[in-house]
């Protein structure tokens, strides 16, 4: 099974790859939520009481009303000045993901809590009361959470793994191309509006020596003794443009592994080389699966409702109440 790389524009969604995060300093930075295992086509049925959630904050379990937790996650995930329907869509996705985690059972990483505040594993969280007291205006986030109170997405009666990310390329990625699992509601769909994100196209340059050192540690069988122009061959791309696998020094490696190793914004990359360096050129930010936050922003600006946004990014799901 492939290692998860789940990424969004708040403090939750650039797993392993997020730049240094300035906690709550203005607009949220791109980042990632990470379930402990890849989404699967067969989910856990929706049973039990989900009115509260226990979150591990600074290694201390704290039980909160579900809606308070959702507000804290949304505040960490999406800018307060996004269109309201985009924030509403994010609220439903965050709530659904929390219920999905609870329905799936507490993980071995933190058996004392349903979720944690570590964006590497679960989701980032901002304490709304503390942030408001310090002067942050999160009124629109709170309104979006209130407007969608209790709403979650289900597939075959079970809460879905409502993963999301900052911004995809022209299309989102299918789950099977990122994590090797074919999930009916996580398919590749058209996703406009990504170029509104300031770092939609980005580049990372690595010296030849640094590249060889990293590859030798991560993929010791790879032969990178030649010039940089010979290192990458025979890539396999998804329909959305992401690298699924690529030959690196004669060894087949996954695009997600390359992304993690070199801190790339996405697996949708091309390369250019010189005699002593290699540059990765990326499109988008995040794993590219599920809801694109900038796609949601664009759709909301075109007067799409949050229900329409969710139906687009999570096809064949049902919007209901927990």
Cβ atoms of 168 and 192 closer than 8 Å:
no
Least confident of 6-10, 149-153, 314-318: 6-10
Predicted confidence (pLDDT) at residue 259 exceeds the cutoff of 80: yes
pLDDT value for 133: 85
Which of 128, 118, 134 has its CA nearest to residue 35? 118
Q: Hey, what's the torsion of the CAs at 79, 311, 101, 172, to 10 degrees?
A: -70
pLDDT value for 124: 82
pLDDT value for 39: 62
Question: Around Cβ 303, how many Cβ atoms within 10 Å?
Answer: 9
Predicted confidence (pLDDT) at residue 96 exceeds the cutoff of 80: yes
Q: How far apart are CA 200 and CA 196, in angstroms?
A: 7
pLDDT value for 109: 92
pLDDT value for 5: 37
Q: Work out the pLDDT band at 35, boundaries 50, 70, 90.
A: very low
Backbone dihedral angles phi then psi of residue 63, each to the nearest 5 degrees:
-95, 130
pLDDT value for 262: 98
């Amino acid at each position: 099974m492939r290692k998860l790389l789940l990424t969004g524009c708040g403090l939750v969604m650039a797993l392993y790859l997020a730049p240094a995060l300035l906690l709550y300093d203005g607009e949220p930075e791109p980042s990632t939520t990470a379930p402990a295992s890849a989404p699967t086509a067969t989910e856990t049925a929706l049973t039990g009481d989900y009115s509260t959630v226990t979150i591990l904050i600074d290694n201390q379990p704290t039980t909160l009303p579900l809606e308070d937790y959702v507000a804290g996650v949304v505040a960490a995930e999406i800018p307060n000045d996004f269109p309201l329907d985009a924030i509403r869509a994010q609220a439903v996705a965050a709530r659904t993901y929390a219920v999905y985690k609870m329905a799936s059972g507490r993980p071995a990483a933190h058996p004392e809590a349903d979720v944690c505040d570590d964006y590497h594993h679960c989701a980032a969280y901002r304490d709304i009361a503390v942030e408001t007291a310090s002067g942050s205006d999160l009124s629109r986030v709170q309104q979006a959470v209130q407007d969608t109170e209790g709403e979650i997405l289900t597939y075959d009666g079970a809460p879905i793994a409502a993963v999301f990310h900052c911004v995809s390329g022209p299309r989102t990625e299918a789950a099977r191309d990122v994590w090797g699992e074919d999930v009916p509601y996580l398919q590749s769909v058209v996703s406009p509006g990504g170029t509104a994100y300031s770092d939609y196209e980005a580049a990372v340059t690595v010296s030849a020596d640094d590249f060889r050192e990293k590859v030798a540690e991560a993929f010791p069988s790879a032969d990178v003794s030649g010039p940089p122009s010979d290192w990458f061959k025979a890539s396999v791309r998804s329909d959305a443009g992401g690298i699924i696998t690529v030959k690196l020094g004669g060894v087949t490696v996954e695009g997600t592994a390359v992304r993690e190793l070199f801190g790339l914004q996405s697996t949708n990359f091309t390369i250019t080389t010189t005699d002593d360096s290699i540059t990765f050129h990326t499109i988008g930010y995040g794993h590219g699966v599920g809801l694109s936050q900038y796609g949601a922003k664009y759709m909301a600006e075109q007067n799409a409702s949050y229900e329409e946004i969710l139906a687009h990014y999570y096809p064949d799901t049902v919007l209901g109440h927990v």
